[in-house]
Each structure stands twice: as C-alpha cells, then as structure tokens.
Structure 1
Amino acid sequence: MVAGSRGEVKPLYVIEHWQIAEPDAGRQHLIAQGYDVRVVEPWKGEALPALIGDEAGVMIMGGPQMISEATASNNAFLLDELKFIEDAMEKQIPLVGVCLGSQMIATAMGAKVSYRDDGAMAMGFYAIDAKPEGKAIGLVDDMMVLNGNSQTWTLPAGAQLLATARADNPHINQAFRADKTLALQFHPEVTRPILTQWQSEFGEYIGRPGTQTKDQQNAGFEAYDAKLKAWYRNVLDDWFAGHAHLAT
C-alpha cells in the first residue's frame, strides 16, 4: 500500500442488507487492493457513517428488501439510506449500487422502482445489449450477467443508460451512470457459495415466469462467471481509482 502524506487510509463503505454466505467478490477484491473496506449493516441497526466527502467510495449492495416498501416498519432504515445516497452524490463520492443498491440510487434520483404487473422476475444468467456509454466501461453486446430481482427501475432523469437486457429477461434496464455514480441491476459480485445460498434461501422463486432452473443457473455460473468477475474487478478499480485509497 502506498502511503499518503499523512499516511491516512481513506474508508470505503460497503452497505449490506442481508447475511451473505461470505464476503462477495467485489469486497474481497477491494480488500486485496488495499482499500480500507468498512462494512455497515443498517438492517441490523448499525448507524450509517457521516460522510465528509473525502472517502474512497461507497457501495450499496443487494438484499431481500424492496425500496418501494421502505415505509414498512421493518424496512424503515432504507429511508435513512436514501438520504445517505443523496449525501454521497452531492459530495461527489464514487458510488456503486448493485441490484437493491441500484434501485435505491434510482429512487433517490426520482425514478420509479416497481414490480412487473405480471409478477415475472429474473433469476439466472441473461444476455445484455451494451449502449455506447456502457461499452466505455467494458460492457459488450451478448455479455451474460447474473440477475436475481423481482423489481427494477426506470431510467432517472439525467442518467446515462449503459445496458439493456434481451427479451428473455423480464427487466429491461440493466445499468446506468450519473457522474461518479454507477448503478447495476445485475449481480457481478455473487460467488459460488452466495449463489448456492440464493438457491436455498430464495428457492421458492425458482419457477416463476422469467426465472431459470437451478441447473440452468449452475451451468451459467460455470460458463460465464469468470468473464463477469474480470469485468467487475476492472470496473471497481477504475471507478474508485479517481479517489485515491489514501488521504493527502
């Protein structure tokens, strides 16, 4: 690790929303790269940090909650997270949101997040179409990405659409950016143990319209995960590189 002039490590906050089987691939990579990764779990009652604007970054991860139902008593902490997201964006802190995280960012930006009217959801690997802005961050047409979601967002005003899905995915919009904020509807962070956890804890969703079978999910992970993880590591390196690890 390269020391700054004061030798102070800048924190990179990761906001989690459920008890995952192991630290996800993104968190593992950032720790290996020397970031001071600090996990915060508001769903357990932990307080969100006060942002000063000099943080290395913020990541808002996925979870079983629905931002459209944040007023429910057990999800009220999500309302505090919306204010936290707004603060991070106002302070120009590099921000990445995954699945629920992307939906929260979209909500904070005034977009709509909702279920499909027909109840269809995505669970498995699906191909994307990359927009020119998405190709600038390494997304490519026909790239297979892992989805696991029953809600999705409309594109917020002022955001750039990076990728859309093919017709076999019930949720068309897959990624957007707004300045230093990146929102991913798909899940590049999921490791094999986390996918196994999905299939156990959320197995009742398999078989709903739009979902893939467990065997299809397993085959997809075997075939496509390595490429997806390589893309994700590169994106995280690039996204947070503009805000150095260490204070100056």
Structure 2
Amino acid sequence: MLSRSSKISVVPFPNRGSEPAAAKPLLPVLIVLHQETSCPGRVGNALQALGHRLDVRRPRFGDPLPETLDRHAGAVIFGGPMSANDPDDYVRREIDWIAVPLREQRPFLGICLGAQMLAMHLGARVAPHPQGRVEIGYYPIHPTPAGLEICPNWPDHVYHWHREGFELPSGAELLAEGGDFPIQAFRSGHAFGFQFHPDVTYAMMHRWTMRGHDRLELPGARPRHHHFEGRAVHDVTERAWLKQFLDSWLARMPPQPLLQAAE
C-alpha cells in the first residue's frame, strides 16, 4: 500500500504527445426575426445543437444587417404577420439584403415570410390566394425528385400559418408542392425557401392559435384542435427531416467554417 507521502510518476503513452487543443468554435448563424417576442424556435434549437451560436437581429427595431456573411455560417429569415408586399422600409431593406448571401453563395434559408422575400428578390410575384384561402394548420406536402435528392425523408404533412404564397422564381428548382399554394419549397443555388414552418415548437403553436384565433375562421384554416392532433401524428417525422436538412444546408458553407484562433 502506498503511504500518503508516496509520489506517483505518470508515464505518458508512447507517441501520444500533448493533449489536443479545444475545438475552435463554429461560425454563428445570422437569425432575422420580425417581432419583439419572436424566437427561432426549433430551427434555432437544432442549429445550437450542431454547435452554432445564433446572431439574432431584428431590423424592424433598428438592428443592422451585415454587409457580408464572412463571419457567419449562413442566414435564416423567419416569418411574421407582415407581407413581403408591405411598403415599410425594413421590409424593403431585408428583401434587398438577400443579395448578400446570393452573391457570396452562403447558405440562406427563408421560412414563410422569409421565403416570400427570397422569391420576391428573385423576381417572383407574392400574392394572396385568388379565392382568399389560407393555410393555417397541417397540410399535405409532396416532394419533387429534386427535393428527394436533397433530403430523402420528407414528412407528408407540414405546419403552415400564412395567407399569401409565391410563384416559382425563374431559374429556381421546385423541391416540394402543395394544394391551394402549389409552391411549398424551392432552391436557388445555396438559397432555400420554405412556405411552411418547420421552426414551430409546441409552445409556439399554443401562442399562435391563442393570439391568432380569429384567423382560424378564414377559408381553408384548420380548427385549433386539429393543429395539436396533427402535431401528435406528424411532428416526429418533421423534426427528423429538419435535422437532416440543416446538416445538408450547412454543408454548403464555403470551406472556412471555423473562426481563426486570433479572432
């Protein structure tokens, strides 16, 4: 037995060398939100789980958008109650700013309003349904062969909350189709637009269906209880698909994903 005063020599394993340095942090993802209480929901949670910090900006309340995405792994513009057709300065600025990720070929994702902004930037029309119908709740989605090539395991229903849709921009690739709003997902280079809401968490669904309960009376909207019934059936598949998509989306980042040690 060793005494308390005994010294133990630790012999390193051969060729092991010194301990590896701590991993350098991944670049943050730019997050663009449109209300004071908005959050990036499940998309933000998934990005953080992948090791990315979130750089949250709200241009509507004065936050600037970066002139370059050199210090970001990608950018996501989320939804909101406003329209891409609104004349507000911040709406115009966001639509124009999309030129930055397109020019620099950085990963960009537009969700609902963000997808409509991307479509408009690319020259497509954004407008309400001609019969005034909406998609609020879960609706079927049909991936195209191009969509299946990018991400094979699409859910067959996804969550929506919108009254406007968009045309397929010229030169863009259709990834998924729907019913009342045929263009559900598209890609243009490294930029993606989703008409639906993979970002919605259970808590967000409660808030939206409570605060926006009047919209549940619009033509085509699902009753509130159908939202939660749909989530119980479709959420597991949609969550797994989202993780798979984000992995592939961030892989489109140019080969400089790590911050320099001197920064």
- TM-score, normalisation: structure 2: 0.84
Q: Does 1:90 align with 2:108?
A: no
Q: Does 1:246 align with 2:258?
A: yes
Task: Please list every run of 5 or more consecutive structure 1 residues that lacks an aligned counterpart in the other structure.
Answer: none
For residues 39-63 of structure 1, the C-alpha deviation after alignment (integer angstroms, 9 at most, x for no partner) is: 1011222111221445200001111
User: 2 CA distance for matches of 1:193 and 1:141?
Assistant: 23
Residue correspondences, number: 238
User: 2 CA distance for matches of 1:172 and 1:223?
Assistant: 23
Secondary structure at the counterpart of residue 232 of structure 2? helix
Q: Does 1:63 align with 2:80?
A: yes
Q: Does 1:101 align with 2:114?
A: yes
Q: CA deviation at 1:23?
A: 4.2
Of residues 225, 234, 238, the one that matches 1:215 is 225
Q: How does 1:223-238 map to 2 (within 5 A)?
A: 223-238=233-248
Q: CA deviation at 1:211?
A: 0.6
Q: What code does the residue aligned with 1:29 have?
A: A
Indicate the residue corresponding to 1:130 in structure 2. 143
Task: Please list every run of 5 or more consecutive structure 2 residues that lacks an aligned counterpart in the other structure.
Answer: 1-20
User: 2 CA distance for matches of 1:41 and 1:90?
Assistant: 22
Q: Does 1:199 align with 2:209?
A: yes
- TM-score, normalisation: structure 1: 0.89
For residues 51-99 of structure 1, the C-alpha deviation after alignment (integer angstroms, 9 at most, x for no partner) is: 1445200001111110112x1xxx3201111121112111111101100
Secondary structure at the counterpart of residue 195 of structure 1? helix
Q: Does 1:33 align with 2:46?
A: no
Contact 2:120 2:126 in 1 (8 A): yes
User: 1 CA distance for matches of 2:70 and 2:104?
Assistant: 5
Contact 1:129 1:140 in 2 (8 A): no
Q: Percent identity?
A: 29
Structure 1 runs (4+) greater than 3 angstroms displaced: 19-23, 139-142
Contact 2:155 2:234 in 1 (8 A): no
Q: CA deviation at 1:36?
A: 2.3
Q: What code does the residue aligned with 1:63 have?
A: G
With over 3 angstroms needed to count, the CA separation of the structure-2 counterparts of 1:83 and 1:204, relative to structure 1, is: same
Contact 2:128 2:163 in 1 (8 A): yes
Instruction: Report which structure shows greater RCO (CA 8 Å, sep ≥6).
Output: 1
